[in-house]
């Protein structure tokens, strides 16, 4: 099993160890540190995370229920492929929720979009510098900020739970995204539409942006790593 770098365990007494283990494995699957097809070993994970096997087993059971790992009797456990049906559903949910957040934020008087503009500029710089990690992080922060400006910051946490397969695909597509000026242009349009309370323009940009990955990740793209995907 390939190693991944776990984050420091937070000092939160009420968090169960199995919840922390679940979060760590889930994020390693999300960011492709554990790509589709990676064999999963309970003893190896327990050693990497410095925990007993019991919380690892519990976490893997939860991940199997979410179709993020596949357990095959007498064979073992592997990271599940990217499910394109789940990606399409996540794009739909993301679009619907973000349009609602955009409409709510745009209706607020004296909306302060200073931080949103700063995040956009950071993302644009990262794209120009081909800094993939900074670009991805700025992308996440920009959309999260829309929900914060609407007054619904916790909806983003719900959305992150829905879009895990989408995020895996975005990670895999990141090199191509850096070379696509349309993504930065759409971010700019969303920011400017919110600054100007321009609902039609903002809504159209969010809907196009939310579904872009389905168009960009075409058959030719998926053919590069067919073992990563399942329809």
pLDDT value at residue 207 = 97
Task: Return the pLDDT at 148.
Answer: 98
What is this structure's pTM? 0.89
Homologous superfamily of the 83-230 domain (CATH):
GntR ligand-binding domain-like (1.20.120.530)
Count of beta carbons in the 10 Å neighbourhood of residue 221: 15
Q: Report angle CA 165, 192, 176 to the nearest 5 degrees.
A: 35
- β-partners of residue 78 are 39, 70
Q: What gap in Å lies between CA 6 and CA 17, rounded to an integer? A: 13
| Extents of the domains making up the chain | 17-80, 83-230
110 exposure class (CB count in 10 Å sphere: 0-12, 13-18, 19+): exposed
81 DSSP 8-state letter? P
CB atoms within 10 A of CB 8: 5
Coil/strand/helix, residue 137:
helix
Q: Find tokens 């399942």 and name the residue.
A: 230
Q: What pLDDT does 10 receive?
A: 54
Query: Token digits for 162?
Result: 């829905």
Tokens of 110: 């004296």
Alpha-carbon span 159 to 162, nearest angstrom = 5
pLDDT in tens, the chain (231 residues): 666 667 655 545 556 888 999 999 999 999 999 999 999 999 999 999 999 999 999 999 999 999 999 999 888 999 999 999 999 999 999 999 999 999 999 999 999 999 999 999 999 999 999 999 999 999 999 999 999 999 999 999 999 999 999 999 999 999 999 999 999 999 999 999 999 999 999 999 999 999 999 988 888 899 999 999 987
Distance CA 125, CA 107 (A): 30
Q: Which residue matches tokens 């995370």? A: 49
The answer for 110, left when phi > 0, alpha when psi is -120 to 50, beta otherwise, is: left
Report the CATH fold assignment for 17-80.
Arc Repressor Mutant, subunit A (1.10.10)
């Amino acid at each position: 099993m390939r190693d991944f770098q776990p984050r420091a365990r937070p000092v939160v007494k009420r968090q169960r160890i199995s919840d922390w283990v679940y979060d760590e494995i889930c994020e390693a699957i999300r960011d492709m540190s554990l790509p589709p097809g990676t064999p999963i070993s309970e003893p190896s994970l327990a050693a990497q995370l410095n925990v007993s096997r019991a919380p690892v087993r519990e976490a893997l059971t939860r991940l199997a229920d979410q179709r993020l790992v596949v357990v095959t009797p007498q064979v073992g456990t592997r990271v599940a492929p990217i499910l394109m049906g789940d990606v399409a559903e996540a794009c739909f949910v993301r679009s619907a929720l973000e349009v609602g957040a955009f409409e709510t934020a745009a209706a607020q008087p004296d909306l302060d979009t200073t931080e949103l503009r700063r995040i956009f500029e950071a993302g644009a710089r990262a794209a120009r510098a081909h800094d993939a990690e900074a670009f991805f992080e700025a992308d996440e922060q920009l959309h999260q900020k829309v929900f914060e400006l609407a007054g619904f910051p916790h909806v983003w946490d719900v959305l992150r739970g829905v879009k895990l397969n989408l995020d895996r695909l975005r990670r895999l597509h990141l090199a191509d995204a850096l070379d696509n000026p349309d993504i930065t242009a759409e971010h700019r349009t969303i920011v400017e539409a919110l600054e100007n309370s321009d609902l039609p323009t903002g809504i159209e940009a969010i809907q196009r942006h939310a579904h872009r990955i389905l168009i960009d990740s075409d058959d030719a793209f998926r053919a590069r790593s067919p073992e990563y995907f399942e329809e």
